Amino acid sequence: MSEPSRLYQAILEGNAKDALAITQQALAEGANALELVNGHMIPAMDEVGRRFENEDYFVPELLLSARAMKAALDLIRPQLASSGAQPAGRVVIGTVKGDLHDIGKNLVASMLEGGGFEVHDLGADVPPEKFIEAVRTTGADIVALSALLTVTMPAMRTTIEALSQAGLRDRIKVMVGGAPVTDQYAREIGADGYSENASAAVALARRLMAARTAA
């Protein structure tokens, strides 16, 4: 059928309007929701990710694609749910307490959404309690912490400790990032993963989900 490859195209071009219309039509024509997602939408976002990695796409292109993807996904979600399909994973993300930098965090959130994750973005300057609450209410698999200031990096540790004290640490994986953060620092504070940029963050989240299921 030609619709889904038009869907692929619409997402690739970041055309939310088209993506929505095509999806709607496809569903009306009885297309399989899971097939739409796995066969066309995720491949489109993978191609977007590839172009971004290759520096053929800039962020605006990427975000427009992610937005188109999200629009189509929102439409499909009910069908998916009733067919028992799950999102790639549930992520609670935020910039830690005291830190207002959110551009990088927003990018990571969008890319995760584009990658099929269900993302709960708590914004910037998020205290540990809020992360705990969000993990409880969303049943998150992953908590993603961002920090851009060296003086707020310690808040990552505090947040992880608070998650432990709340008895949630074993239920979730924690990933961290932001310009001053390093792999070594991530290990030091007991995070499960670190990545340098937003596309690597998606790959990381997938790895963490796999590790989670394996464990």
Partner 1 sequence: MSTYTCELAVSNPDELVFGSAPKPVRCGFDMEIGAGTVFPEVNFTLPAMEISDATWGEVVGHYEEMARNVLKRAVSLQAPGIVLEFELLPPMTERPEWGAEITALLRRHLAAAYEKSGLKSALRVTPTDIRDQGKPPLLRTGEAWEKLKRSFELCIAAGADIVSIESVGGKEVHDLGLMYGDLRSIVFALGCLAPRDMAWLWDHISAMCAEAGGRTVPGGDTACGFANTAMQLAHQKMLPEVLAAVVRAMSAARSLVAFEHGAVGPSKDCAYEGPILKAITGCPISMEGKSAACAHFSPLGNIAAAMCDLWSNESVQNVRLLSGNAPEAYAELLSYDCRLMNVAARNGQSKLLRDWLTESDEWLSPQAAILSAPAAWEIAEAIVNAGDGYQRCLAAGHAAAGILRRAVDEGRLRLPAKELLWLERIEAGLREMPSAETGLWDEMLEKHAGVFEPSSYGWPHFDLGH
Q: Which of 24, 38, 83, 150 binds ligand B12 (CB under 6 A)?
A: 150
Q: Do the strands 193-194 and 142-146 form a parallel or antiparallel pair, or are they unpaired?
A: unpaired
Residue 64 touches partner 1, criterion: CB under 8 A: yes
Shortest Å, Cβ 91 to ligand B12: 9
Residue 188 touches partner 1, criterion: CB under 8 A: no
Residue 62 touches ligand B12, criterion: CB under 6 A: no
> Binds 64, which of ligand B12, partner 1, none (CB < 5 to 8 A, cut-off by type)?
partner 1
Interaction pattern, residues 80-119, with ligand B12; x per rule: CB under 6 A: -------------------xxxxxxx-xx-----------
Q: Do the strands 173-177 and 142-146 form a parallel or antiparallel pair, or are they unpaired?
A: parallel
Residue 177 touches ligand B12, criterion: CB under 6 A: yes
Q: Cβ-count burial of 28 within 10 angstroms (0-12 exposed, 13-18 middle, 19+ buried)?
A: exposed
Q: Which of 20, 149, 162, 166 binds ligand B12 (CB under 6 A)?
A: 149
* Cα 209 to Cα 88: distance, rounded to the nearest angstrom: 8
Closer residue to partner 1 in complex, CB, 35/56: 56
* Cα 5 to Cα 22: distance, rounded to the nearest angstrom: 10
The interface with partner 1 within residues 88-117 (CB under 8 A) comprises 98, 100, 102-103, 106-107
Instruction: List CB contacts of 173: < 8 A, sequence separation 6 or more.
Output: 141, 142, 143, 192, 193, 208, 209, 211, 212
| 29 secondary structure, DSSP code | T
Q: Residue 87 is encoded by which pair of tokens?
A: 């999102």
Amino acid at 11: I
Q: How many residues bind partner 1 (CB under 8 A)?
A: 25
* Cα 69 to Cα 62: distance, rounded to the nearest angstrom: 10
Residue 56 touches partner 1, criterion: CB under 8 A: yes
Residue 159 touches ligand B12, criterion: CB under 6 A: no
The answer to whether 191 and 104 have CB atoms below 8 angstroms apart is: no
Shortest Å, Cβ 129 to partner 1: 17
Q: Residue 192 is encoded by which pair of tokens?
A: 């499960």
Give the footprint of ligand B12 on this chain (CB under 6 A).
99-105, 107-108, 144-146, 148-150, 175-180, 195, 197-198, 201, 204
Give the footprint of partner 1 on this chain (CB under 8 A).
55-56, 58-61, 63-64, 98, 100, 102-103, 106-107, 123, 125, 149-151, 153-154, 179-180, 182, 197
